[in-house]
């Protein structure tokens, strides 16, 4: 017997005068292998033509569709209704600016994060189109790739206790990005530069170690490993700083 699913969806349109945040309820017949991508489209196209949400690749690759599904931040496209109870509660991700209903502005936040962290290879070398590429050991390439796999969906930040208190906190996505460039031999930033970037309470020392980020990351990024790597690096950085102070 097919189930009738009940969707309780957070609604709010900030561009609509006098609109108040509220919950709308929709019913939908469950079909085999139904995921939330298809379910939300069916609701929009038949019941609520103004329902706002974000999907792009619908394949778990682009990171657009993260939302709170029964209280947990995750990707809607790859969530099957078969894994959920009859009633499904959908809320937008907290922390990010709400654009409307289930749509939040992760794009601008991640763009600003990239800018703050100078998320690019720092090098003085010019590209020489006639030269062979600089060599890299494949294990290093794989290690960079592990952190590079972040799809900027925002689940880690939405799940993070520190981020809810300190809006400037870099979050797991930000720290992971720092790790990605620390691992990269092409980036010339030294210990002092990394230290200034992340050794603060909105950086690696703001993390209180609850690791909800690690629980919810849809890409299973090695966040624990990356954080401990950065902390080890930063601790050695602190020693450098203390030694320098002693000398003066």
Partner 1 sequence: MRTLISDVLIIGAGLAGERAAIASAQAGLDVTMLSLVPPRRSHSAAAQGGMQASLGNSVKGKGDNPTVHWLDTVKGSDWGADQEVARIFADNAPIAMREMAHFGVPWNRVEGGPRDVYIKGKKTTIVEDDANEGLITARDFGGTAKWRTCYTADGTGHTVLYAMDNLAVQLDITIHDRMEALCLIHEDGVCIGAIVRSLRDGEILAYLAKATAIATGGYGRLYGESTNAIINEGTGSWLALQTGLVPLGNMEAVQFHPTGIVPTDILVTEGCRGDGGLLLDVDGYRFMPEYEPEKQELASRDVVSRRMKQHILKGKGVQSSYGEHLWLDLRHLGEEHLTTKLREVYDICMFFIGVNPIKELIPVRPTQHYSMGGIRVNKDGHAYGMKGLFALGEVACWDMHGFNRLGGNSLAETVVAGMVVGNKIADYAKTAELNANVSLAEKFGKEQTDLIQHLLTNSGTEDVYALRDEIAELLKDHVHIFRTGEGLEKAVTGLKEILGRLKNVRVKAQAPGMNPELSQALRIEGMAKQAYIIAKGALLRTESRGAHTREDYPARDDKNWLNRTLASWKIGADEPEFNYEPVGPLDLPPGDRGYGGGQMIDMDLSLEEYNAKVDVEQKALGKHTTSDPIGVSLPKEAWREESPYKDAK
CB of 220 to partner 1, least distance (A): 9
User: Is residue 209 a contact point for partner 1 (CB under 8 A)?
Assistant: no
Q: Which residue, among 186, 24, 3, has the nearest Cα to 100 in the 3D structure?
A: 24
Q: Which of 141, 210, 224, 241 binds partner 1 (CB under 8 A)?
A: 141
Q: Which of 23, 85, 108, 210 binds partner 1 (CB under 8 A)?
A: 108
Contact range with partner 1 by CB under 8 A, out of 41-49, 167-175, 190-198, 232-240: 41-49
- The long-range contacts involving 92-95, CB below 8 angstroms and separated by at least 24 positions, are 92/10, 92/67, 92/68, 93/66, 93/67, 93/68, 93/154, 93/155, 93/157, 93/158, 94/68, 94/158, 94/164, 95/154, 95/157, 95/158, 95/160, 95/163, 95/164, 95/167
**Stretch 169-198 residues interacting with partner 1 (CB under 8 A):** 184, 186
Spatial separation of the C-alpha atoms in residues 127 and 27, rounded to whole Å: 57
Take residue 178 and report the two structure tokens written for it.
Answer: 């720092």
Identity of the residue, 172 or 207, whose beta carbon is nearer to partner 1 in the bound complex: 172
CB of 101 to partner 1, least distance (A): 9
The two beta strands, 4-11 and 87-91, are parallel
Q: Which of 3, 6, 8, 60 binds partner 1 (CB under 8 A)?
A: 60
CB-CB contact of 204 with 188 (8 Å):
no
Contact range with partner 1 by CB under 8 A, out of 11-19, 86-94, 157-165, 203-211: 11-19
Tally of CB atoms within 10 A around 193: 14
CB-CB contact of 9 with 24 (8 Å):
yes
Identity of the residue, 14 or 190, whose beta carbon is nearer to partner 1 in the bound complex: 14
User: Is residue 2 a contact point for partner 1 (CB under 8 A)?
Assistant: no
Q: Which residues here bind partner 1, judged by CB under 8 A?
A: 13-16, 32-33, 35, 44-45, 49-52, 54-64, 78, 99-100, 103, 106-108, 110-111, 114-115, 118-121, 125, 127, 129, 131-138, 140-142, 144-145, 148-149, 151-152, 184, 186
């Amino acid at each position: 017997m097919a189930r009738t699913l009940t969707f309780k969806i957070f609604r709010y349109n900030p561009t609509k005068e006098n609109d108040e945040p509220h919950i709308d309820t929709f019913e939908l017949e469950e079909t085999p292998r139904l995921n939330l991508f298809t379910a939300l489209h069916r609701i929009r196209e038949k019941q609520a033509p103004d329902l706002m949400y974000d999907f792009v690749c619908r394949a778990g690759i682009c990171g657009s569709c993260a939302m709170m599904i029964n209280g947990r931040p995750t990707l809607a496209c790859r969530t099957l209704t078969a894994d959920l109870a009859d009633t499904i509660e959908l809320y937008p991700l907290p922390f990010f600016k709400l654009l409307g209903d289930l749509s939040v502005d992760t794009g601008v936040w991640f763009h600003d994060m990239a800018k703050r962290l100078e998320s690019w290879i720092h090098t003085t070398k010019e590209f020489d189109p006639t030269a062979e590429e600089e060599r890299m050991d494949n294990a290093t390439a794989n290690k960079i790739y592990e952190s590079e796999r972040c799809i900027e969906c925002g689940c880690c930040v939405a799940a993070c206790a520190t981020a809810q208190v300190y809006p400037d906190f870099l979050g797991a996505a930000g720290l992971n990005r720092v790790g990605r460039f620390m691992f990269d031999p092409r980036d010339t930033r030294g210990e002092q530069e990394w230290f200034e970037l992340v050794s603060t309470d909105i950086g690696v020392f703001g993390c209180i170690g609850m690791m909800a980020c690690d629980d919810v990351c849809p890409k299973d990024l090695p966040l624990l490993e990356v954080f401990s790597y950065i902390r080890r690096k930063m601790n050695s950085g602190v020693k450098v700083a203390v030694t320098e102070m002693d000398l003066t």
